[in-house]
């Protein structure tokens, strides 16, 4: 007759990548007991070590032990594993159901730094409007070894990407930045220079030289050189991206600065030198963009070809 000494049910809640040595014991008045896994499965990374048997006298019976050994591998989420072990002494068999739970689901970890993204030409932390963007956000998750896949998305009410750009589920920001056009001004139209509701806007054109630009009393009062208002606007776009492994979500705030060519000219009086976003070699010149694909296809030899 076989008698199990190890109670049935849960053998414990274990953590992934931790070395285990769990004994299973049964006694028999006939002789040594052998153990085998007949149903279910052990957590990945664990095995039934039938080669380690310890026989001893236990109340006029023979007690035999076997061990569940190994190190549970990564799990995507809290995982329950149920299995049936059969004890056999050569005359009788006795089955018992056990359970081992593996915990240790890990959160994704962001690699891409928070803040401005270097999506521009030459990895600049700004991008010109009407420019191409192809940037990969990066995060990692050790649970990917267990089959986890990461998904990226803009969280609800988490801002927006610059118009023209999109974020794929794999974390790639791509597209062409759309320009933001300024509102056209119908005329010079300074304050009260035209009757109410006649001009589309009551905004005066900007001046290229401001107060104290000239030596005192060197020119007539309020002398200025009118300049045109900008036709396109530069703008910050702030958005929050979430990355999820299906069980855990981690969010991070990013910014993209879309600027015009005029913004990078030497007479710009808006840029601050301590932003750490601009360098001396920054330029508003645009590089050519190839439209033709790099792969020109496969062609049969000894045939006239025009590409």
* Residue 214 pLDDT: 46
**185 burial level (CB within 10 Å; 0-12, 13-18, 19+):** middle
d(Cα 217, Cα 202) in Å, to the nearest integer? 31
pLDDT of residue 243: 93
User: What is the C-alpha to C-alpha distance for residues 96 and 86, in angstroms, rounded to an integer?
Assistant: 7
pLDDT of 213 reads 46
Nearest-angstrom CA–CA distance, 56 and 104: 37
What residues does each domain of the chain span? 2-103, 109-182+232-275, 183-227
Say yes or no: do domains 2-103 and 109-182+232-275 share a fold: yes
Q: What does each of the 307 residues of the chain score in pLDDT, given as a tens digit?
A: 888 889 999 998 888 888 888 899 888 888 888 888 999 999 988 998 865 455 555 556 677 888 999 988 877 778 889 999 998 888 889 899 999 998 877 788 899 999 999 998 888 888 888 888 999 999 988 765 656 788 999 999 999 999 999 999 999 999 999 988 876 555 554 555 566 666 555 444 444 444 444 455 555 555 555 555 667 888 889 999 999 988 788 999 999 999 888 777 666 656 655 566 666 666 767 777 787 888 988 888 888 888 8
Distance CA 255, CA 239 (A): 6
CATH of 109-182+232-275, one of 1.20.58.1000, 3.20.20.70, 2.60.40.10, 3.40.50.170: 2.60.40.10
Residue whose token pair is 């052998």: 34
pLDDT at 245: 83
Give me the pLDDT at residue 17, please. 81
Which pLDDT value is given to residue 258?
92
Paired tokens of 160: 């927006």
- What SS3 class is residue 183? coil
Report the sign of the C-alpha dihedral through residues 263, 268, 269, 272, in that order: positive
Report the chain's terminal Cα–Cα distance, integer Å.
85
pLDDT value of position 160: 93
**Would you say domain 2-103 falls under CATH 3.40.630.30?**
no
pTM for the complete prediction?
Answer: 0.60
Q: How many angstroms separate the CA atoms of 129 and 125, rounded?
A: 13
């Amino acid at each position: 007759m076989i008698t199990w000494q190890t109670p049935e049910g849960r053998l414990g809640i274990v953590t992934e990548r931790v070395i285990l040595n769990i004994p299973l014991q049964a006694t028999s008045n006939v002789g040594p007991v052998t153990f085998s896994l007949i149903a279910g499965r052990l957590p990945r990374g664990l095995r039934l070590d039938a080669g380690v048997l310890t026989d001893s006298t236990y109340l006029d019976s023979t007690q035999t032990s076997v061990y569940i050994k190994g190190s549970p591998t990564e799990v995507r989420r809290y995982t329950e594993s149920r299995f049936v072990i059969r004890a056999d002494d050569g005359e009788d068999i006795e089955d018992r159901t056990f359970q081992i739970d593996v915990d240790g689901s890990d959160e994704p970890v962001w690699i891409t730094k928070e803040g401005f993204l270097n999506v521009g030409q030459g990895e600049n932390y700004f991008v010109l409007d009407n420019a191409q963007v192809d940037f990969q956000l990066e995060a990692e998750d050790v649970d990917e070894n267990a089959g986890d896949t990461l998904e990226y998305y803009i969280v609800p009410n988490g801002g927006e990407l610059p118009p023209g750009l999109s974020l794929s589920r794999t974390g790639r920001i791509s597209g062409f930045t759309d320009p933001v056009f300024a509102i056209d001004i119908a005329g010079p139209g300074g304050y009260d220079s035209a009757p109410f509701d006649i001009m589309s806007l009551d905004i005066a054109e900007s001046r290229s030289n401001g107060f104290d630009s000239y030596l005192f009393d060197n020119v007539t009062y309020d002398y200025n050189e009118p300049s045109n208002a900008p036709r396109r606007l530069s703008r910050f776009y702030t958005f929050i991206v979430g990355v999820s492994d299906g069980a855990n979500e981690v969010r991070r705030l990013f910014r993209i600065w879309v600027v015009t060519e005029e913004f990078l000219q030497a007479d710009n009086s808006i840029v601050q030198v301590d932003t750490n976003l601009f360098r001396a070699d920054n330029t508003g010149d645009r590089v050519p963009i190839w439209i033709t694909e790099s792969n020109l296809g496969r062609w049969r030899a000894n045939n006239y070809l025009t590409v």
